[in-house]
Structure 1
Amino acid sequence: MANVLIIAGDFVEDYELMVPFQALQMVGHQVTVVCPDKMAGDTVKTAIHDFEGDQTYTEKPGHLFSLNGAFAEVSATDFDGLLIPGGRSPEYLRLNATVIELVQAFADSNKPIAAVCHGAQILTAANVVKGKRVSAYPACAPEVSQAGGEYCDIAVTEAITDGNLVTAPAWPAHPAWLAQFNALL
């Protein structure tokens, strides 16, 4: 089975981290979760985003998630695929040059990359969406377009694969998103 890397940060979306972490292990993959400036055993705080009929999602405190890898020790060559959850963490993780270099290394090697919701912010910052059909949380549509990607406005329960990229608008797409990512792995 595959060795998958997940890059997370404080206030990552709870479901978008925990569900892929558990589901990918359930089908036999090795999953390592890291965060810049943190070590294995450290935690990240998560946030729960919900869709309750407002103009945008609501946010509530989530759980503490215990990391099982050290960011400083990972290399794209050690993994078969990359998963980027959404939430608030992508908005600041995309400012980390090492995160961007790591994403670009996966893309340059044409390894599977899955991103959900605001995870597309890291993909656009890494300049890996040009010419690709990409879904994301709708508020990220301008970033996808400005980075040369084709934003796909799909149902919140759907996902889209274009080459090595698998993207989805939010956590309700987990069944489709994770199945498509698993197929690439």
Structure 2
Amino acid sequence: MSNNFQMPRSDVTLKIPIMPKILMPIGDATEALDTFYPYYRLPEDDYEVVVAGPEARLYHTVLHEIPPNPDVPWDITQERPGYHLKADIAFRDLRAEEYAGAFISGGRAPEYIRYDKDLQRCVREIAKAGKPIACICHGIEILTAADCIQGKRVTTVPKCAMDAEQGGATYVDDDVVFDGLLVTGRGYAENTVVVKEFLRLLKAAED
């Protein structure tokens, strides 16, 4: 008996579908829950999350909250170390035409990455192209810097309300605000609703 068994040849070629890309800018002190929920949730609906940073390297996330029962109360958010997340690409290499939309997370990172001109350019071009954008918490600082929320209704964590208004938006003291192709949430507690609406906008844009 011969042991040289060969599987029959097949002319069928399996094609792996190309997933639309979603831009997710981060930096050191990106808020963990703001970021990791959409990072893992969006691929479940066949969207590739492309993490971008000042450089393509590993970044520190943080837990960013006002402690609920501290011995000495905090007036503002405290930061504690979180998980690490690697950026796939540097801001300078971003091309807006490669992305179907953007998810802007919060934490302290937006305070400094908003100054990056290449990040500003890419986010602004995504907005001008009429692609969906979702934004949580301090992420509004990036949208203001990119000058793409003029005339929009938005929400954010209350301490960033001035940032929204300086960007020409109307701050609304609600948990979640929808305005056209922009969905904004106060903080990570609103992640589920924000991502659900963001996915609806992305799928509508494909039709």
**When the two structures are superposed, what TM-score results if normalisation uses the length of structure 1?**
0.91
Q: Is the 8 A contact 2:94 2:118 kept in 1?
A: no
Unaligned runs of 5+ in 2: 1-18, 69-73, 203-207
Equivalent position amino acid for 2:20 in 1: A
Once superposed, which parts of structure 1, at least 4 consecutive aligned residues long, lie more than 6 Å away?
A: none
Q: Does 1:5 align with 2:5?
A: no
Q: Counterparts in 2 of 1:142-161, with a 5 A limit? A: 142-155=162-175, 159-161=176-178
Aligned-partner SS, 1:142 = helix
Q: Distance in 1 between matches of 2:86 and 2:145?
A: 26
Aligned-partner SS, 2:89 = coil
Q: Distance in 2 between matches of 1:22 and 1:153?
A: 28
Matching residue of 1:133: 153
Q: Does 1:17 align with 2:32?
A: no
1:91 aligned to 80, 96, 111, which one?
111
Q: Distance in 2 between matches of 1:128 and 1:141?
A: 16
The offset of 1:145, in angstroms, is 1.4
Bigger Rg, structure 1 or 2: 2
Q: Distance in 2 between matches of 1:7 and 1:67?
A: 8
**When the two structures are superposed, what TM-score results if normalisation uses the length of structure 2?**
0.82
The offset of 1:70, in angstroms, is 4.1
Q: Distance in 2 between matches of 1:135 and 1:86?
A: 13
Q: What is the root-mean-square deviation in Å for CA atoms of aligned residues?
A: 1.4
Q: Counterparts in 2 of 1:11-160, with a 5 A limit? A: 11-36=29-54, 38-39=55-56, 42-53=57-68, 54-155=74-175, 159-160=176-177
The offset of 1:137, in angstroms, is 1.1
The offset of 1:125, in angstroms, is 1.2
Provide the identity percentage.
Answer: 34
Equivalent position amino acid for 2:61 in 1: T
Aligned-partner SS, 2:51 = strand
Equivalent position amino acid for 1:177 in 2: V
Q: Distance in 1 between matches of 2:168 and 2:94?
A: 29
Unaligned runs of 5+ in 1: none
Q: Distance in 1 between matches of 2:92 and 2:150?
A: 28
The offset of 1:17, in angstroms, is 1.3
The offset of 1:68, in angstroms, is 2.9
Q: Is the 8 A contact 2:92 2:119 kept in 1?
A: no
The offset of 1:118, in angstroms, is 0.3
